[in-house]
Chain A
């Protein structure tokens, strides 16, 4: 009986020891300096913890670890925790390491971003795992050093009561309506799209014009229409001698462009044969060429004007233009 009692006491002591080992005494302290042995090259390890209560599913937890060590030592990159899922409820989202050296001391700052997805039904303590950071001496003469980062625990709370007194979809229920989506302002994008489409369209048009593609592919030149337009401008001031000459020249250029070469009076029969549309006006055309000769090669402006006034030239230009458009 006495032996059994002794065994029970031993087990109890063991259990107490185990439990006290799991719960670190100074867990509530925000900043905690772990005492280090003087022989270790690790000068200090300091962990900056956030608050350790009031966490809900999906919350982010950031731990920052500051380490100072002899500058002869370097952190072994493989010993730092790798980002990724650590447990079914815990992710390590990112690991960031910063390093600086001054006065024979190398300082590291390790930033760890955890995210907890644990859904507690009541307030529950969760624990972030501890780990060991390894340091190696440069040159490999000295022994390796290590810094222990202790685990850290915090309290997570449920989001809603377990036994709901209200229907979940009622206003007071735990199902809240979705937040309305944020509407991005697309106006600058719309303007940009419109502008670039305009530029593309203009470019295509220019290309089409350059290569004489549709819609520029077969728009025939209208030399007589253009000529008639030019003559009408001269007709506004018919008394000036330049007007008469200009009118004659305009029609000459129209003939030239229609034939694709320079046309003289003697070439007219051939031209009218190949461009039958203008043949009905051959008498007028002859008169025009005679007047032109009088003006340009005989310096007889009044005679030419009498022979064929500028109005008649304009009329001939109109007729030829009409004949041209009928083609």
Chain B
């Protein structure tokens, strides 16, 4: 039996999850959140989004300044999530083969070829970290795309499947030298692109700088409760959430209106100061993005104990699930972060709901 069949059997077993079980899982999800919040302060929203990504089975790209705690956050998440976890540092000379196998001379002096970081744990791999993804070459990106999209990779003359795999990548946006910008197709495959910023709260900042608990990262990560969630059951739960949480016709219409407004802001009557709305959007907002948005919105509704998606859910998860899928005219691309924020705000302030 291949690992894929095993996985299918397991998910089939968990496919029928009743409402009561969803409630217990919600409690688990909230515990998951709280335990990470205990280690990472001032990032409640980011942690909520990561929880959503975990329960929507989507890959996450983290972005932010150096030293704001991206890696710590991911380590804490991996620990709370349970399952095997592997990480790779992106460097300019990293080649796809380095992810799949590694070669060395054995004790007997003979050359050996062993599975690399991706294959080492076989199908039990739950979290794969890609640090500094923009330092890796496009060849590596394309391998990663395949792993993300198909959860499988071909190596040693057979196919490996990773049914529980969730990829977290991070990217710092300060450096541009010796980096390879992620192509639009790669970014589109990420479920969310989360921007991590320094917490605004002065008290939290003081804590981060002076409290000794935040100096020892290992101890901090170890303080996170381990294996809060059973990673083998997540797929089934995710499916149950998607089927149980209800989207009404009015909400679907609303989501379509939002989509239309993204692609044709002039038609929707959206005006942003000092921006030529005719030229702003050149493309993007893919159908895949829209389906991800609805997936995230359902999980958000579920976390709030609702069995229906409301516009607030869409609004809450929208910047992270759709923001990186909207492509601007090159003139505006340089001011992307600021314009995306204003644009999305304007869209939600303009499109009527329900």
Contact = CB atoms under 8 A, between A and B. Distances in A.
Interface of A: 249, 252-253, 256, 260-262, 264-266, 292-293, 296-299
Nearest to B349: A261
A206 to B, nearest CB: 24
Interface string B331-353: 00000000000000000111111
Contact of A297 (B315, B348, B352, B354): B354
B312 A296 contact: no
Contacts, number: 48
7 contacts: A253-B352, A262-B311, A262-B351, A262-B352, A292-B354, A297-B246, A298-B308
Contacts of B246: 297-299
Nearest to B353: A262
Contacts of A252: 352-354
Contacts of A249: 354
Nearest to B350: A262
Contact of A264 (B250, B308, B315): B315
B354 A262 contact: no
B274 interface: no
B251 A296 contact: yes
B353 to A, nearest CB: 6
A298 B306 CA distance: 10
Interface of B: 246-251, 307-312, 315, 348-354
Contacts of B247: 297
B308 A293 contact: yes
Nearest to B253: A296
Nearest to B311: A264
A299 B307 CA distance: 12
Contacts of B311: 262, 264
Shortest 4 CB-CB contacts between residues of A and residues of B:
A261-B349, A296-B354, A296-B250, A297-B308
Contact of A256 (B250, B251, B352): B352
A256 B350 CA distance: 9
B251 A297 contact: yes
Nearest to B348: A262
B309 A297 contact: yes
A163 B25 CA distance: 136
Contacts of B350: 261-262
Contact of A265 (B249, B312, B349, B351): B312
A171 to B, nearest CB: 87
Contacts of B351: 262
B308 A266 contact: no
